[in-house]
Amino acid sequence: MQARRAARELALILFSQTEAIENQNKWDFQDIILKSVRTLTNNSTDELNSAAASILEMKEYIEEYEANHPSNLERPIEVSNIPVPIPTTAQMQEKLDDLLNIAEKTMLAIEIAEMATLEENSDVKHYIIKITQEFKEHKNEVDEQIKKFAVGWDINRLVKMDKDILRIAITELLYINKTPIKVVIDEAVELAKKYSTEDSGAFVNGILGKVVIENNLK
């Protein structure tokens, strides 16, 4: 995982702790890393438990489907069932998609934990501190950009995850300028898809696109 991507993931967790942002000089980076890793791993554990239940449900469904298939109902009761073709249903595809998503989040938690073992002067530390410092200094301007382009939305009523993702991305776009615009937007959209609502990716993409045009970013 690239250092800046890891920093964005950690910043998103940090931004959820408003007090930590406002009192940045009081928090210790390693403590934030530890809390972030615990948050990610706890979420992954919960989702893995849910996935295990889904896998068990799928297994029971397949076993029942096999047992009730005409080719097995015709066989003597004392013999084992034979494998039978099973249709691919939308429901099963949805469960498999869920499992893949959970696996991706689990890998992310592992990668973040790996980043946490890096030396104190790592790029991750520097970049997350840079994001939070720049946001603290320009919070009003950043939020003004969101208000301006989130037409019909009260910034205080936005999904908090969406707002925090936008804050991080706009801070990067306007005040850091070290990452290509497309990368910042693409990774913000991915964060929104991963951690927020079904429509958040498109919402975040639309707002950031307007920020780029408004500020003539290249």
Q: How far apart are the first and last CA of the chain?
A: 25
150 φ, ψ (degrees, to nearest 5)? -85, 65
Unique residue bearing structure tokens 């925090």: 164
May I ask the CATH architecture of the domain 3-214? Orthogonal Bundle (1.10)
**Beta carbons of 188 and 208 less than 8 angstroms apart:** yes
The pLDDT score that the predictor gives to residue 210 is: 94
CA distance 197 to 146: 18
Q: Give the helix, strand, coil percentages of the chain, each rounded to 5.
A: 75, 0, 25
The pLDDT score that the predictor gives to residue 173 is: 95
Residue type (1 letter), 5: R
**Beta carbons of 203 and 215 less than 8 angstroms apart:** no
Q: How far is CA 153 from CA 77, 91, 121, 137, in A?
A: 64, 35, 40, 24
CA distance 191 to 43: 15
CA distance 111 to 2: 10
**Beta carbons of 10 and 33 less than 8 angstroms apart:** yes
Residues of the chain with pLDDT under 50: 1, 119-121
CA distance 207 to 203: 6
**Beta carbons of 213 and 182 less than 8 angstroms apart:** no
The pLDDT score that the predictor gives to residue 66 is: 87
Is 118 in a helix, a strand, or coil?
A: coil
CA distance 84 to 71: 8
